[in-house]
């Protein structure tokens, strides 16, 4: 199993006031986040419509009623417990007084002449002090009746639960297995829908490993769907040719079980990407993009990215021959670069993965030298304003509308020098190389998903 796909947890928030964070629940399922916690569990926060299939299930209604009864009983028991504790303390405090009164009454009964007016008044005063015990005893009687009622309700709950248990026990193993498979299918379908949305937040960093030099890149296959769990690491940005391939993320973390690929042409920068089993990278001292197939260990195609600057003509703010940045998202393969006619502003081109032909191009108007790094999510380019500490995601360009906006999405640049930042749509995480550390960030995406009325 992949390190970061251990479990899916859906948090259903039906009935939450929509004004707080979300659009109206009547619009459909509303996905607020798709992220992973520190244990590697995928957490998807969902606001469900007020009316859904679960609400119409009679067993679900039964269980809700049972839960309400249990809650009521629990509250009643808490009240009883507090009240009993309070009354018991009162009885204990009056115990000495009761002993005094008892002693005086014994003396008076044995020798009535000893009870003079003064003694009689003292005894009367003591008895008056005991009068508050009467309502306490009355409350005890009422509480005893309540305990009988609660005991009857618990007995009824037990009978209902036994009936539900017998009903659930009527399902055989095969039927339950089929139900689990159906739920898994629906869950994976939901997760695919969760793949796209607007970036609203970035998690704290998760340091996977510390290895290599200050600059480099590491990645897993970005193709959807894919069962390929290999991890690739490329240390450095200048004339490198050695690519390390690890079998799994666990092997990468331990630095074991890897093979080496020696590329036929050296690379420039750190803007490499693995897509559908092939490495796409920028050839050193050129604007040529190379597609290298790992299994055949051969170059399948190479093509010049027309007009693209190279060799530190238009790099990111940290330099490092980062003129051409290749990346992939839910919509396919992209190249981020700039040209002299574009006056050094970031250009986005969508590429055909087989031929590397440019399918469409956008001019973002954002100066590339002012960007620390950039990455694509769902056809939107997100740009950071620095590669150093204090960096944030500052700019977003939407290719579907050819529009942009300035953003303010902070993230913790733990090791203060990011030389690679790429989104992986399979895992919905950001891969970064930060000053010799390989780091992951979970992302929070927001999107409203329409339902089909089921």
- Of the candidates 419, 421, 391, 422, the one whose C-alpha atom is nearest the C-alpha of residue 407 is 391
- Token pair recorded at residue 409: 């999405």
* pLDDT at residue 427 tops 60: yes
pLDDT: which is higher, 304 or 159 = 304
Query: What pLDDT sits at residue 120?
Result: 72
Q: 438: which strand partners? A: 209, 433
In this prediction, residue 179 carries a pLDDT of: 72
For the cut 90, the answer to whether the pLDDT of residue 254 exceeds it is yes
Checking if the pLDDT of 12 tops 50, the result is: no
Print burial letters for 442-452: b (CB count within 10 Å at least 16), e (below 16): bbbbbbeeeee
Q: Which two tokens stand for residue 243?
A: 């690519």
- Asked if 22 contacts 447 with a C-beta cutoff of 8 angstroms, the reply is no
As given in the structure block, the two tokens for residue 1 are 């199993």
* Rounded distance between C-alpha atoms, residue 126 and residue 111, angstroms: 19
Q: With a threshold of 0.85, does the pTM exceed it?
A: no
Which pLDDT belongs to residue 312? 95
Q: Identify which has the larger pLDDT, 43 or 281.
A: 281
Q: Which residues pair with 421 in a beta bridge?
A: 432
Torsion, Cα of 6, 11, 12, 18 (10° steps): -140
Q: State how far the Cα of 176 lies from the Cα of 168, in Å rounded to an integer.
A: 10
Q: Which CATH class is domain 199-446?
A: mainly beta
pLDDT for 449 equals: 53
Cis peptide before 394 (omega within 30 of 0): no
Cα→Cα distances 77→83, 86, 147, 148, 330, Å: 10, 14, 9, 12, 54
Helices (H), 206-321: 249-254
pLDDT at residue 100 greater than cutoff 60: yes
- Burial profile 89-108: b = 16 or more Cβ within 10 angstroms, e = fewer: eeeeebeeeeeebeebeeee
Which residue in 424, 403, 342 sits closest to 2, CA to CA?
424
Reported as type and span, the H/E element at residue 239 is strand 238-246
| Mean pLDDT for the stretch of residues 44-61 | 48
Judging by beta carbons within 10 Å of its beta carbon (0-12, 13-18, 19+), is residue 248 exposed, middle or buried? middle
Q: How many residues does the chain have?
A: 454
Whether residue 245 has pLDDT greater than 80: yes
Domain ranges of the chain: 57-168, 199-446
Is pLDDT of 452 > 60?
no
> What is the model's pLDDT at position 188?
55
- List C-alpha distances in Å: 54 to 49, 59, 62, 177, 180: 11, 9, 12, 20, 16
Residues 363-397: tens digit of each pLDDT: 999 999 999 999 999 999 999 999 999 999 999 99
């Amino acid at each position: 199993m992949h390190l970061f796909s251990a479990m899916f947890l859906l948090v259903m928030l039906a009935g939450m006031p929509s004004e707080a964070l979300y659009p109206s629940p009547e619009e459909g399922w509303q996905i607020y986040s798709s992220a992973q916690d520190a244990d590697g569990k995928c957490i998807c926060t969902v606001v469900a419509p007020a009316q859904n299939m679960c609400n119409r299930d009679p067993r679900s209604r039964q269980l809700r009623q049972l839960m309400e009864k249990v809650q009521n009983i629990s509250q009643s028991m808490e009240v009883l417990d507090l009240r009993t504790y309070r009354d018991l303390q009162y009885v204990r405090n009056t115990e000495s007084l009761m002993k005094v009164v008892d002693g005086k009454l014994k003396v008076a009964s044995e020798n009535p002449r000893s009870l003079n007016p003064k003694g009689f008044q003292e005894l009367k005063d003591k008895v008056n002090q005991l009068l508050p015990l009467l309502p306490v005893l009355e409350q005890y009687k009422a509480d005893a009746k309540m305990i009988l009622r609660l005991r009857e309700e618990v007995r009824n709950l037990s009978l209902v639960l036994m009936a539900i248990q017998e009903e659930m026990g009527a399902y055989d193993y095969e039927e339950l297995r089929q139900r689990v498979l159906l739920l898994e299918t629906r869950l994976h379908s939901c997760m695919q829908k969760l793949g796209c949305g607007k970036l609203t937040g970035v998690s704290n960093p998760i340091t996977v490993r510390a290895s290599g030099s200050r600059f480099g890149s590491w990645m897993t296959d970005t193709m959807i769907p894919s069962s390929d769990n290999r991890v690739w690491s490329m240390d450095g940005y200048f004339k490198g040719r050695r690519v390390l391939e690890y079998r799994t993320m666990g092997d990468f973390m331990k630095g074991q079980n890897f093979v080496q690929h020696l590329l036929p042409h050296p690379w420039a920068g750190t803007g490499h990407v693995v897509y559908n089993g092939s490495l796409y990278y920028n050839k050193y001292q050129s604007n040529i993009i190379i597609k290298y197939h790992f299994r055949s260990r051969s170059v399948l195609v190479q093509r010049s990215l027309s007009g693209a600057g190279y060799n530190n003509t238009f790099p990111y703010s940290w330099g490092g021959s980062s003129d051409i940045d290749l990346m992939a998202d839910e919509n396919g393969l992209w190249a981020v670069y700039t040209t002299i006619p574009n006056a050094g502003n970031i250009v986005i081109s969508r590429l055909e993965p087989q031929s590397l032909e440019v399918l469409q191009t956008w001019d973002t108007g954002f100066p590339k030298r002012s960007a620390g790094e950039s990455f694509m999510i769902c056809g939107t380019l997100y740009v950071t304003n620095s590669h150093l500490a204090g960096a944030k995601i500052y700019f977003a360009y939407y290719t579907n509308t050819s529009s942009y906006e300035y953003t303010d999405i902070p993230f913790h640049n733990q090791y203060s020098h990011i030389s690679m930042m790429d989104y992986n749509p399979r895992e919905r995480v950001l891969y970064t190389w930060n000053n010799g550390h390989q780091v992951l960030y979970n992302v929070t995406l927001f999107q409203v998903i329409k339902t089909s009325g089921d």
